[in-house]
Structure 1
């Protein structure tokens, strides 16, 4: 039941997302478009270069003067990170979740403390430098988009002069300066960044920014930059020999240690032989809840935990820590860990205005498309998981499962970059919906970002809230596994669905659509003029005839008889949920029951146990779940 991975994914990354760019952008210019023209003229930087750099940084958005996840401000993402990154604590250090999630071992509660960023690298201090070059105040550069664009132009011009290049009107002469603007200290990352900017220049772009201003960049399809300029930039060479990355990203090898310590303990991952011994079925998207340098320090600590890749926000640079063949400890569910690759993105769940750069989104999408093709992983939300959609493996673990990357990760844009845009796949009678609100316009209320119970800043979101009836006066849907009263808390996923997730339709009432969710009928507002979902069709499961309900599991483990004598039997433990008769849930994949036994440092003792029992992965609530194949029947969603 594998889905095909489009061969056009890489090409799609280079194409305009909102229509073809116009051949002429003169006349009726917005204030921001004029700001680019004025700054380009003042600092003798080609306007197209300035627009291309800004697009890769922010897609021309200003974010109301709020800093990005790496302390970058405005359309040019000028960085002033010291205040923006203060107090960051990586999310595996909260002591709630066992990232390993293997009940055969004692719970792992990492408590590592990130180092202080006393000396910020130059890439996180570009705004003070822009202030020196322009004479504008740091406050102006942070809050005034026109000043911010001027600061970016001044930095590009300074980089061009430092490389000994003339302030040419030809964009092809600015490759080295663009590479230097990235702030990267290595040739591969700087080149990957510059290549992306010049790809944008070739294809052109146009869009309306978050402040409602139209901005356009005319296409220059024949543009060929002088890449030789980068040789004079004095940048270091990455150690990429061990990495498993696509060619068009920058990637370095910073290994997580496989090392014994303490009382026969070891860390911070397990050696394996995937996919030969065990399929890789999932890619899990995380955010770091911390800054790049501190996170890298911790993943190199054998007493901490691990994941395969970390992605940097400023320029999309990637560090790989664990080979794909090996099992990292990241998801809080051992079954998912054993069958997944984990990606940590520099970012913060509960800082709605701490936005992700386009450079990181694109780099991540290229990496995921590459991994999905290599390991035959379908590009859908039941295989490209958020950490927040990984199920608790057993009932006691449900409350401690993580909720990143949260409601502010732009899944719709991400799937466009993956080459799998979320489109309707059926008419009104397809029997399913794909959640797909307009990210910028969809602004549900959240609390708990800055203070407990306090309101979060209004912001675009990928998430849609669920009620127990067709109206906002009805109570929010309750998750019995959490045992708490549902709320609008930014970390409370009990009553919300996320962009790209698919559910069987359970009813319609005016502007409201009902879906089957956690064994209940859940309603969300879905007006025709501002739809929160699009029609879809596919396969769904429902209990076999004559069965009142069937259990739902958080892991697909084998039956007891499948275990050899030297591997302890792992319980096939149902979660507190059931799938009642008459309800339908969207199918992800049919999988065998499997358990990877790896509780010692000696990999010779590691074994994969495969049972005869089969399971279907389903989209059950916000998180995925599993049901035994013998308990259900598979039917078309529209039947």
Structure 2
């Protein structure tokens, strides 16, 4: 990693919600110098860019944050996201870690590319005379660089006008998108923000406001940019979101092997119940190369960081190999986001917005509830059997802002607040002011502290005190001992939007049931909610927990080998309670040959309940538990 990703970030001095209108946290006023607002005004005046346009573009890139000079997942720096690939380390896809993303023990294990990117920091340097490092790390100079580029693009269009409406083409070009559909979506989002206005406190305590400005942009300017037009194809997407169809190859490789996904007829043969949020752990270009390799594996969508561009590779009716758990694969859609979970990088607003637009469309199409039981991270997917638990992936990791994402989905996580304790809590720390102390962001020095930056995670401790050990996880640490603060260790960690049953409250600390233990965190990090909980049926000392909801042996037809129902290494002891998700009927999608005609969905009589058991969800048999609802 470069020095920029090792550098300690400034702690967020002020907090805000994930929405557009933000109320600053108590005590933040002292940090609000107004320097960021003045920097936008000065740069706009210097380069002749309408201030609302400059503010709107910056909001769609970074939400005006500086990120202490650290790069985004698309190699962009600062409030204007000036891109510089040279300053960001690459890396292989997280699918290259020796694990099987197909997650089907009925088949053998599977077993890669370079990138190019826009170098807008170089253009900014030539236009301003400021060196690249300063443009990356100094917010005011970064804003100047972005304003200079916008003015340069406007001159190239031959347009001279002070009205924001006349800057649509320059804004579309600033997106960096090579196709008109993605560039148009970016520009439309910028001008929508300009019309609505926005106000928030940045990650370094700067209060910035974009006053609502009526504007009808000149959208026809995009034609003058000479951008490519996406070909009509099979891509499935909401109206107004340009999605490129880059198909994954369904190819017979001989000797009973094939790649790189499975044909199906969802939702006719089986329901789609989950959407899995991933990050690529490689560049967008590398991910596109991998998904087109027939000897590799495939997922449904990939999103590019810089401009939010979306590519689709597998039809949603078909089953991608992406989650490392075959039961989850068969029931889900996999959405990959260009990014690196641990390298101190941040996800752009453009990518958050296109992802939210896509996922909202998919959820409506397949009637998937917009909650954290159904819209899950790859890090929430359980192992299938005990040997696979330790190798499960942990992206998109704690730097994915779940609260902001659900705001963009139109499903705020705490939309119906409950004022009294209920026996269940929803994890809800303020992302900006929650710089949880991880290690392991620097591959060259895994024990070094990660930059102090916002996070969606809370650690759980064995006692209600900050210096108490973390909980044990026998799946990740079979040798015994507590979990660690390594960013890849999810053994004692909860995440925004997840729900847990309360075990005990002492002062300003709350304990929840987690992996068969009580885990303590400061109560300010959660809010009470209503819902269902499960507990072992009376008379049972403990019950098994499973990583997949497979049918009983007698449900399998002749010719299909029954999949063994193997519990994980965890159990749920009597008296403990866990937040209940959906109740599901046992299923196994038998798809071990290239010919889809031989694929069979096996359905059993056994019913399971999805539960929030640890950081990952799990399944318990309905016959083993008692379901009840929480109440104030």
What TM-score do you get using the length of structure 2 for normalisation?
Answer: 0.93
The one of 99, 102, 108 equivalent to 2:101 is 99
Whole-Å Cα distance in 2 between the matches of residues 252 and 459 of structure 1? Answer: 34
Matched residue, 1:516: 513
Whole-Å Cα distance in 2 between the matches of residues 216 and 429 of structure 1? Answer: 36
SS at match of 1:152: helix
Matched, 1:439 2:431: yes
Matched residue, 1:473: 467
Contact 2:19 2:407 in 1 (8 A): no
Matched, 1:197 2:190: yes
Matched, 1:594 2:587: yes
Whole-Å Cα distance in 1 between the matches of residues 568 and 70 of structure 2? Answer: 41
1:335-358 alpha-carbon deviations (Å, 9 max, x no partner): 000000001100011112x11110
SS at match of 1:630: helix
Contact 1:503 1:516 in 2 (8 A): yes
Matches for 1:474-493 after TM superposition, within 5 Å: 474-482=468-476, 483-484=478-479, 485=481, 486-493=483-490
Matches for 1:148-297 after TM superposition, within 5 Å: 148-166=142-160, 168-220=161-213, 222-297=214-289
Matched residue, 1:8: none
Contact 1:246 1:370 in 2 (8 A): yes
Contact 1:74 1:148 in 2 (8 A): yes
Matched, 1:396 2:404: no
Matches for 1:41-440 after TM superposition, within 5 Å: 41-84=45-88, 86-95=89-98, 97-108=99-110, 110=111, 113=112, 115-117=113-115, 120-121=116-117, 124-166=118-160, 168-220=161-213, 222-352=214-344, 354-423=345-414, 425-440=417-432
Whole-Å Cα distance in 2 between the matches of residues 14 and 52 of structure 1? Answer: 17
Contact 1:469 1:523 in 2 (8 A): yes
Contact 2:90 2:283 in 1 (8 A): no
SS at match of 1:40: helix
Over 3 Å off, 4+ runs: none
Contact 1:273 1:326 in 2 (8 A): yes
Name stretches of at least 5 consecutive residues in structure 1 with no aligned partner: 1-12, 21-27
Question: How far does residue 427 in structure 1 lie from its aligned partner after superposition?
Answer: 3.0
Q: CA-atom RMSD, angstroms? A: 1.6
Matched residue, 1:25: none
SS at match of 1:303: coil
Give the stretch that moved more between structures: 469-478 or 589-598: 469-478
SS at match of 2:618: strand
1:392-434 alpha-carbon deviations (Å, 9 max, x no partner): 0111100110011111111111111111112154233211100
1:356-395 alpha-carbon deviations (Å, 9 max, x no partner): 1100001111111111111011111111110000000111
Contact 1:256 1:322 in 2 (8 A): yes
SS at match of 1:172: helix
Matched residue, 1:607: 600
